[in-house]
Amino acid sequence: MPSATAGPQKEVPTIDWLLVCLGNPGKEYENTRHNIGFMAADELSRREGVKINKLRYRALSGEVRAGTQRVLVIKPQTYMNLSGESVKLAGGFYKIPPDHVLVISDDVALPLGKLRIRAGGSAGGHNGLKNIIAHLGTDQFPRVRVGVGAPAHPEHEMIDWVIGPFSAQEKKAVAEAVSRAVDAALCVVEHGVQEAQNRYN
């Protein structure tokens, strides 16, 4: 029997969606191609007036609303290759099914600024997505992929490209793409993947 002095069981608050914004922590990675997910989280934070700065689940987190849906936004602090650790911890705590785990990531296969919304699929060579798939045990979770372009010269190392900064000329297109990525993510949450694809793909 529970002790008479034991307090009531603390209920886990309802979270409907997990919005995973991928990037690498640290000043040296700010405004780099691989950090477009972090940029989207910062844009959402600015729009909603919500701080995404609570350290838990090996991520910085904050909560926003999209219509009637409560959304936990996370910026994993594990470095890109281990992003799935944060997703598994947060998703497990709130019992969020994979089809309500929405990921915003960069994509070198898309031209700069182009969006691609998908309901699931392979990692496409993206190490953050690869690790999330491994931890969730499925690739059937929605994602908003934001084009960052590919290096012009094949001999350019891909890792140097994705952790490289955007040029001054690229920054306007990047800002617009990040804003549209946030719009697309909120659309997925409120209206579903199909509607977001119709509007933003």
Residues acting as catalytic residues: 34
CA angle 37, 144, 137 (to 5 degrees): 95
Look up tokens 């989207």; give the residue: 40
Instruction: Tell me the C-alpha distance between 54 and 177, whole Å.
Output: 26
CA distances 179 to 29, 109, 126, 155, 183, Å, are 20, 20, 22, 32, 6
C-alpha 78/C-alpha 83 separation (Å) is 6
How far apart CA 64 and CA 66 sit, in angstroms, is 7
* 58 DSSP assignment: T
